[in-house]
Amino acid sequence: MRLTDQPAYLLHRRAHGERSLLAELWTRDHGRLPAIARQARGGGGERVAALAPFNPLLVGLSGRGEVLTLSAWEVDGSPNLLRGATALAGMYVNELLARLLARGDALPKLYASYQRLLQRMASEPRVDWPLRWFEKQLLDELGYGLQLGLTADGISVEPDGHYRVDLEHGVRTTTAEGGFAGSVLLSLAQIEQEMPTPAVCNQQRKLMRALFLALLGGKPLTTWEWSQALPSRAS
Amino acid sequence: MAADALEELIESLKLLPGVGRKTAQRMAFALLEGERLPAQRLSRALAAAAERIRRCSRCRNYCEDQLCAICRNPQRSAEILCVVESPADLHALEQATGYGGRYFVLHGRLSPLDGVGPAELGLTLLADLLADHPVSEVIVATNPTVEGEATAHFITEIATAGGAQVTRLAHGIPVGGELEYVDRQTLAHAFGGRLKV
């Protein structure tokens, strides 16, 4: 495989020897690909600074085996500077993508959504709304799009009703306490257009977490556990 | 089994940063030359270090006792705490600055896919330390990377909850550098963080 000027983001990196990195890349046209980047660590400078999470990159890749060689990279446009709680939220999204995206499976529409997510996170005062919006895009693109306005029996979801949601059966009415309010589901269906209140967004976060946990085979994300350790919860 | 011992030595030397097979071989042969005094000295030093060096119970820096030399030193201010990613960073700051406060060493940075979280970085110990011994300032000296930034956010939250003022190291143009050669991100940070003169 030989790719040149391929748009990509770095999802994760770990040290590989003294000066090299093992980079987990998400390329626009070829999906997630691991690659070794030589001379990419330590000392700073344009080359080292460029290969960082959230930067829109143009990369050159070559090689045949499981792990490719990252032969060239540069920032394409302006770097996305995520700071503080937003950097933490960005790391959560990258962990989710690294765990859920299949190697070599291109999802160009989701890639465009990720670009928009990063721009929104860097510029909007509230980070929870763009996060919930992206999580919904991710479910849709992975083929688990939910019909949130209707139950599995074809009955309209009522704002005051209580519902259970799972990936297999969709939305079902429940009488038990602990289900999600219909208003939370209806707001999620409209998340592209309307900003939910922080309280509703928090309920949607719990719903999404339950759905993703099922997709992750019951093994939770590390970043979910981190947020418990924060004195004030971040996302 | 002389050949196995030699091979084991070469493989062990390869564990060191920046040492490949060829360098490891050269090192091994150099150690085994002549009277072997350097090899015996190195072997004693390694055994002593592996046995005696541990982490300071207060700041997690390497030391031989319960507390490290910096934490024990009454001349060092207990009012300021500088949080660094590694003992090497602590050493660099000690060499370059006249800092007179104490440190806290994380031994890493947040990295979700490597399973490094707040617990691995000793952040519970940091929170307890700040609760038991409140300080007026916490200097966050994590690296200017995304992971360092996220780690800094965690420390800021913990330090603020402990009532301390939080400061961060400035990002800027290297001394002796020229603007046109500085990378865009550093220049953007330096421009955004310009100082009043």
- What are the φ and ψ backbone dihedral angles of B57, each rounded to 5 degrees? -70, -15
Count contacts between A and B (CB, < 8 Å). 83
CA separation for the pair A208, A224 (Å, rounded): 12
CATH of the domain at B83: 3.40.1360.10
Window from A160-164, A218-222, A228-232, B130-134 with minimum mean pLDDT: A228-232
Q: What is the pLDDT of residue B164?
A: 92
Question: Measured between CB atoms, which of B112, B186, B188 is closest to A95?
Answer: B112
> Does residue A231 register a pLDDT over 80?
no
Give me the mean pLDDT over the A182-193 stretch: 92
Q: What backbone phi and psi angles, to 5 degrees, belong to A103?
A: -60, 130
Check residue B36 and give its pLDDT.
80
**CATH number of residue B10's parent domain:** 1.10.8.420
User: Who among B145, B160, B183 is closest to A45 (CB)?
Assistant: B183
Q: Which residue of B has its CA nearest to A89?
A: B150
Regarding an ipTM greater than 0.90, the answer is: no
Are B95 and B150 in a shared domain? yes
Residue spans of chain B under pLDDT 70: 1-3
Does the domain at residues A85-234 carry the CATH identifier 1.10.10.10? Answer: no
Q: Do B112 and A94 touch (CB under 8 A)?
A: yes
Where do we find the tokens 């091979």? B7
> Which residues span the domain enclosing B11?
2-52
Q: Find the CB nearest A222 among B17, B115, B184.
A: B115
The average confidence (pLDDT) of chain A is 89
pTM of the prediction?
Answer: 0.85
Residue B27 lies in a domain: yes
User: Can you give the residue ranges of every domain in chain A?
Assistant: 2-75, 85-234
pLDDT of residue A96: 95
* A15 CB within 8 Å of a chain B CB: no
User: pLDDT confidence of A109, banded at 50, 70, 90?
Assistant: very high
Place A43 in a pLDDT band, splitting at 50, 70 and 90: low
Domain A2-75 is found in CATH 2.40.10.10: no
Of all residues in chain B, what percent are helix, strand and coil, respectively (each to 5)? 50, 10, 40
- Given an 8 Å threshold on Cβ–Cβ distance, is A75 in contact with B124? no
Asked, for residue B179, whether it belongs to a domain, the answer is no
Q: Is the pLDDT of residue A129 over 90?
A: yes
Q: Is the predicted pLDDT of residue A234 greater than 70, yes or no? A: no
Between chains, do B111 and A52 touch, taking CB under 8 Å as contact?
no
**Domain identity same for B25 and B95:** no
Give the whole-angstrom CA distance, residue A135 versus residue A207. Answer: 11
Give the H/E segment covering residue B92: helix B87-96
Whether residues B114 and B160 fall in one domain: yes
Residues 6+ apart with CB under 8 A from B3: none
Within a domain: residue B133?
yes
Whether pLDDT at A80 is above 90: no
List of chain A residues whose C-beta atoms are within 8 Å of the C-beta of residue B123? 229
Domain count along chain B: 2
With H, G, I as helix, E, B as strand and everything else as coil, classify residue B155: helix
**3 state SS of A171:** strand
B67 belongs to a structural domain: no
Amino acid A123: pLDDT: 87
Q: Tell me, what's the pLDDT at B85?
A: 96
